[in-house]
Amino acid sequence: MDKVKELAKMIDHSILQPTFTDNDLKKQCEIAQKWDVASVCIKPYAVKQAAALLRGSDVKVGCVIGFPHGNSSTAVKVYEAGQACLEGAVEIDMVINIGKALGGDWEYVENEIRAVTDTCHRNNAIVKVIFETDYVNATEDKIRLCEICTRAGADFVKTSTGYGFVKLPDGNYNYRGATIEDIRLMRKHSGPGVQVKCAGGVRTLDDLLRMKEAGATRSGATATEAMLKEAEMRFGRGGEREKGR
């Protein structure tokens, strides 16, 4: 596999902006298919449409659950995950209950992750568990979550939604998203069967390469095309695209 293809298959192309229309979904799925990325990561109502748009391609359909703040009840998250699978999703990115984690109710957090994971696996889908590290930022809490996800059988641990906005000293809101330190920490404390996904703030090819080196095997991205065009310029491209695909 050439370098550009390898990097493309790291990317979950994010189509989560609240203002995106059905036409935007179509355009973004075309970008995902053009570059043959790993998956699209979409809103629940769009699963059927995305599955139809991507039918016949190698791009998988992923869906967010409890997005973006994780506040749905466990029963709702389980239902939402099951419904997404029935409509064509094969990858599920679920947000933990952030308040329960910050409050130290680890039994609740673990039971919820296990319930969603079991539902996904019964439907032949993988699950990625979003910690939202802009909010759950204590090292010991992130380590605990890695251990919980390992016990629960989750397929991935994931840093962020990209929507974990916090109020800054100047009164504006922004987020940090994935950091190299978090990726290294999550890789170190997750079991060997659990992969690591970075998300939030991965906007350049160098960002993606640094996350890969730190241990991430998937990355959420909205700047997919720009990153992969830069990768073509830097590394060249063999195969079909080099022949004028």
In the chain, how many domains are there?
A: 1
**Domain containing residue 202:** 3-230
Determine contact, residues 12/197, Cβ cutoff 8 Å. Answer: yes
Is residue 45 domain-resident? yes
Is residue 100 domain-resident? yes
Q: How far is CA 157 from CA 50, 53, 97, in A?
A: 24, 28, 14
Is residue 237 domain-resident? no
Q: Which of 141, 158, 182, 207 is catalytic?
A: 158
Q: What's the half-sphere exposure (Cβ side, CA atoms, 13 Å) at 115? A: 18
Confirm whether 27 is a catalytic residue: no
Is residue 236 domain-resident? no
**140 vs 170 pLDDT, higher one:** 140
Confirm whether 158 is a catalytic residue: yes
Instruction: State residue 119's pLDDT score.
Output: 98
Is residue 59 domain-resident? yes
Instruction: State residue 174's pLDDT score.
Output: 78
Report pLDDT digits (tens) over 42-69.
Answer: 999 999 999 999 999 999 999 999 999 9
CATH number at residue 45: 3.20.20.70
pLDDT band at 242 (very low <50, low <70, confident <90, very high): very low
Is residue 135 domain-resident? yes
Q: How far apart are CA 79 and CA 58, in angstroms?
A: 27
Residue type, 136: V
pLDDT band at 240 (very low <50, low <70, confident <90, very high): very low
- Residue range 67-89: mean pLDDT, rounded: 97
- Residue 85's contacts (CB-CB under 8 Å, 6 or more residues apart) are 92, 119, 120, 123, 124, 125
Is residue 238 domain-resident? no
Phi, psi of 4 (to 5 degrees): -65, -45
pLDDT band at 238 (very low <50, low <70, confident <90, very high): low
Is residue 242 domain-resident? no
Q: Which of 60, 155, 197, 207 is catalytic?
A: 197
Q: Which of 31-35, 81-85, 153-157, 237-241 has the lowest mean pLDDT?
A: 237-241
**Above 80 in pLDDT, residue 7?**
yes
Instruction: State residue 166's pLDDT score.
Output: 78
Query: pTM for the full model?
Result: 0.94
Q: Which of 93, 134, 182, 207 is catalytic?
A: 93
Whether the link from the prior residue into 192 is cis, omega within 30° of 0, is no
Report pLDDT digits (tens) over 179-222.
Answer: 999 999 999 999 999 999 999 999 999 999 999 999 999 999 99
Residue type, 160: S
Confirm whether 2 is a catalytic residue: no
